[in-house]
Amino acid sequence: MPNIYSGRFTADTDEPFVVFLIGMRINQAWALHKWLPTAMAMEPMLSSLYQNPESGYLGGEAILYRGGIGLIQYWRTTEDLEHFARSPQEAHRKAWQQFNKAVRKNSSVGIWHETYQVAAATSHVPVGKRGESARERLSRA
């Protein structure tokens, strides 16, 4: 469970980083044989990322939403994220190929994702040190 900090805080960073949202949408709950392998494929990928800090993966957390599960991931750069996604040596490429083969002509499960480059969360400092308003803090980033 993450630490809880009393007070108002903001990120202490001048470097941009990447927020990557990815999720699995379960369209047919009874098609367990289609969506369960998709869900199970995430664990080996995350294990690989946590074991290799040089990958550029900074961390993340799981989310549940109506109709599926997802992850919020933080990456050092878009290049690091793309390398992980496209490299034949990484677990993602094989999992993506297996997913496409398993559900090519089937709509029981879907994958969605979105990538954002931001200057936000590394360490944190009291809000006043970077500006009282969000506008002030963003203009400094």
Q: What is the pTM of this model?
A: 0.73
CA distance 136 to 141: 9
* Three-point CA angle 102, 107, 112, nearest 5°: 90
pLDDT (0 to 100) of residue 60: 92
Candidates 24, 18, 27, 26; CA nearest to 55 is 18
Tokens of 53: 């800090």
Tokens of 70: 């997802």
Per-residue confidence of the chain (141 residues) as pLDDT tens digits? Answer: 567 777 776 666 667 788 899 999 999 989 888 888 888 888 888 898 999 989 999 999 999 999 999 999 999 888 999 999 888 888 888 888 888 887 778 888 888 989 887 764 456 666 666 666 656 655 655
* Three-point CA angle 118, 121, 125, nearest 5°: 130
pLDDT (0 to 100) of residue 65: 92
Burial 5-18, CB ≥16 within 10 A → b, else e: eeeeebbebeeebb
pLDDT (0 to 100) of residue 135: 63
- List helix spans (H) across the chain: 32-40, 42-51, 78-86, 91-103, 134-140
Residue 108, classed as helix, strand or coil, is coil
Domains delineated in the chain: 17-118 (3.30.70.100)
pLDDT (0 to 100) of residue 128: 65
